[in-house]
Structure 1
Amino acid sequence: RADSGITDLASTKGKKLGFADPDSTSGYLIPNVSLPADIGAPIAEFYSETGFGGGHENLVLGVLDGTWDVGTTFGSGQGEFSEGYTSGNLRIMVDKGLLDMDDLVEVWQSPIIPNGPLMVSNKLPAETKAQVTAFFKALPETDFECFDAFTAGGYTNFVDAGQPLYQTIIDARKSVIGG
């Protein structure tokens, strides 16, 4: 919170850190593996307590009500912080009237996290996979309103992506679950 006295990452030492959800890439996985390098210590040693806030929106509300001193959530990092960025949980909460960004201070941003992929089952016929892929890639031009709603706004298109784009996420997940 802006009134907490926390102004930067160093000033979060000894505080209670809330993660959004154990299954969240942005709200747990990436902070869990990236934050230690930036704080110079294991999370369990740097923070007095950690836990989960029950999802991104609930975690932010928990920071606002003092349950957590620091919390993880997702935002695009593009555009204005004061508006909750162009997309993500912060922007959704601002747009719903649940959050005034002046009540928060940003103390850390993770490395870039690619958006989750849209996938098609390999069990489908090649023609069906091609049709589904073509539909989504054309959506920004064929029905921008639908595309904008589907992506929660602020995006321009879909692009082809393969495993290399997600390798950091794969490696981070393996470091948490083993294997």
Structure 2
Amino acid sequence: MLPAFAAFAAPASAAPAACDRPARLHFSFSPQGNLQDNPALLQPLLTELSDVLHIPVESVSLPSYGAVIEGLLSGSVDIAKLGPASYTSVHQSDDTITPFATLSAEADLFSALPTAYYSLLIVRQQSNLSIESLKGKKLALVDPDSTSGALIPLKLFSRKINAPLTAYFSRVGYSGTHQQSVLSVAAREVDAAFVSSSTLTTVIREGRIRRDEMRVLWKSDPIPRDPFVFRGHLCPDIRQKIQKVFFSPGNPRVAAALAAQSSEKFVPVSDRDYKIIRDLQESDRGPAN
């Protein structure tokens, strides 16, 4: 009787927290502003998850990076595809949110690395602008929680020019999506923009602009690709089954979702893969805004 009594008498804090077993799961993603944002492209994957978990798995389109972060923190989003900086931001608020997979993508026009991409500073080809002559011009960033469209420019490019972006450029604004930043440069609404190499590749391949319309003035070091994450409070068997589906070679539904994302497979990731991003966010060295 003693062990049972001891367990009964233990403080409530000693008892393991109950895990979440929702009646349905919600999947969302940070909006990039291209056709790959179409939730229908991942529907085969969500259908497979639903069949394996025996509960509905629904896609939820949200308007901003921040809205997806808030969804994860509030529990209204259970699984998400985030930008690296969005992941490290949400992990700082809730360290149970866990990255488990990323896409091994086909090589884009600016990167031969399957699990990395770049931040690019782009201008119109015919503008004759250089980094030096951009001083006093108009710049588009993407979203405050974007990695290649905000964090990298604010932290790293500002060190290159030895000035905050807001001091170097006459106007710095957020377009909302990478695609909109590209199109704003093409339409001469801004002089330059920082965008992801993968999105610029997509916009070119979709025929929205020609490759020879844009010129790259600056390219960052490789950035780890977007992680898929889940809430750590989901019950362990749910989390294990989610990972099993993602890492199911030969599964036709998973293969269809990968093909729609111009990718070859999912590869495992962990929090340590995004340390470089966290270090940038936490660094106070050099101009940051």
The answer to whether the superposition gives a TM-score over 0.5 is yes
1:175, CA displacement in angstroms?
A: 5.4
Among residues 127, 145, 149, which one is paired with 1:27 in the alignment? 149
Cα RMSD of the aligned pairs, angstroms, is 2.1
Matches within 5 A, 1:1-179: 1-6=124-129, 8-75=130-197, 88-138=198-248, 141-143=250-252, 144-149=255-260, 152-153=261-262, 155-174=263-282
Q: Using the alignment, how far apart are the partners of 1:72 and 1:170 within structure 2? A: 20
How many aligned residue pairs are there?
Answer: 159
SS of the aligned residue for 1:3 comes to helix
**Gap runs ≥5 in structure 2:** 1-123, 285-289
Q: Using the alignment, how far apart are the partners of 1:119 and 1:56 within structure 2? A: 21
SS of the aligned residue for 1:108 comes to strand
SS of the aligned residue for 2:248 comes to helix
Q: TM-score, with normalisation over the residues of structure 2?
A: 0.50
1:33, CA displacement in angstroms?
A: 0.9
Paired letter, 2:155: V
Q: Using the alignment, how far apart are the partners of 2:207 and 2:269 within structure 1? A: 35
Q: Using the alignment, how far apart are the partners of 2:166 and 2:152 within structure 1? A: 16
Paired residues of 2:178 and 2:196 also in contact (CA < 8 A): yes
Identity of aligned residues (%): 29
Q: TM-score, with normalisation over the residues of structure 1?
A: 0.78
Deviations along 1:160-179, one digit per CA (max 9) or x if unpaired, are: 22222112222334459xxx
Paired residues of 2:154 and 2:164 also in contact (CA < 8 A): no
1:31, CA displacement in angstroms?
A: 1.4
1:29, CA displacement in angstroms?
A: 1.6
Paired residues of 2:141 and 2:149 also in contact (CA < 8 A): yes
Paired letter, 1:172: L
Paired letter, 1:136: F
SS of the aligned residue for 1:73 comes to strand
1:125, CA displacement in angstroms?
A: 2.5
Paired letter, 2:259: D
Paired residues of 2:140 and 2:190 also in contact (CA < 8 A): yes
* Structure with bigger gyration radius: 2
SS of the aligned residue for 1:21 comes to coil
**Gap runs ≥5 in structure 1:** 76-87
Q: Using the alignment, how far apart are the partners of 1:20 and 1:73 within structure 2? A: 7
SS of the aligned residue for 1:62 comes to helix
SS of the aligned residue for 1:26 comes to helix
Q: Which has the higher strand share?
A: 2
